Amino acid sequence: MSTTFRKTLFLALRRAGEFIRKNFDRPHRVSFKNKSPINLVTWVDQAADRLIRGTIQKRYPQHDFLTEESTPTHRGSPYKWIIDPLDGTTNFAHHYPQVGVSIGLEDRGTIVLGGVYDPFRDELFWAEKGGGAWLEQAGRRRRIHVSATRQLTKSLLLTGFPYDRRERADFYLSYVRAFLAYIQGIRRAGAAALDLCWVACGRVDGYWEWRLKPWDSAAGKLIVEEAGGRLSDFSGRPFTLYGKQTLATNSRIHREMLRVMRRVARAAARRKVRTR
């Protein structure tokens, strides 16, 4: 992987992160996507998106983009940058400092480089395919690994809830209830890209969420895998950025989490709960 790709990634992440941090305490004009009262967007999301795309396009004008806040491009390039300029918009709109910037680089359908930047902890998580996963903070770089926890009963998990949670709250909470019987704790932080990075660096042992978008998980997927973790859907099938289910673990508790999820899914099927 070209060092220029990596330098461009780091520059785009840090520029956007600095912009988000500088505008964090200002009043935010909030609008809503798809007429949803809980799918928020602010001018900072949109401005950060332009900043990232401008940074990358300056060096790679022919590359394609898939971002949360702008129309995808189709120039025919083998390279595609998959971008969430402000992951955790609801947190940001409420001045809750758990947000990140996520950028993944796809080469012919495979994520080969990815980074997630937390501007409030100054933590830059990144990975290169085949090159391990890393955390840069305060000028220092260290390799990161998933946790060594081997039992679900000793685990701390993260989860999140998609934008249709008001209509399907009971279904999503059925997973929370099931896991509460086995684990030491569950957290809901509200920034999927950072959730994946926290699995990768061992702060939590597993994470699950429904209906993530490619920009939520493109970078985090690679970081988890390069840190020794595992991803799948809730049935154990291979994870895809364009699927509806994301399970990421330290790999050691993956099978146990899948067993719990399958029981929940079977119970929902018996009750004829809508899951799609």
- 184-198 pLDDT per residue, tens: 999 999 999 999 999
For 220-251, what is each residue's pLDDT tens digit? 999 999 999 999 999 999 999 999 999 999 99
What's the mean pLDDT in 198-207? Answer: 98
Query: How far apart are the C-alpha atoms of 93 and 101, rounded to whole Å?
Result: 15
pLDDT score, position 39: 60
Which residues have a Cβ under 8 Å from the Cβ of 254 and sit 6 or more positions away? 206, 230, 232, 247
Number of other CB atoms surrounding residue 119 within 10 Å: 22
In the chain, DSSP finds a helix count (H) and a strand count (E) of: 7, 14
Predicted confidence band of residue 1 (pLDDT cuts 50, 70, 90): low
Q: Whole-angstrom Cα distance, residue 146 to residue 204?
A: 8
Q: What is the edge-to-edge ordering of all strands in the sheet holding 230-232?
A: 185-187, 156-159, 206-210, 245-249, 230-232
pTM for the complete prediction? 0.94
* Between 276 and 161, residue with greater pLDDT: 161
Helix 192-200 vs helix 214-226: crossing angle, to nearest 10: 0
What is the rounded CA–CA span in Å between residue 125 and residue 119? 11
- Percent of the chain clearing pLDDT 70 (strictly above): 93
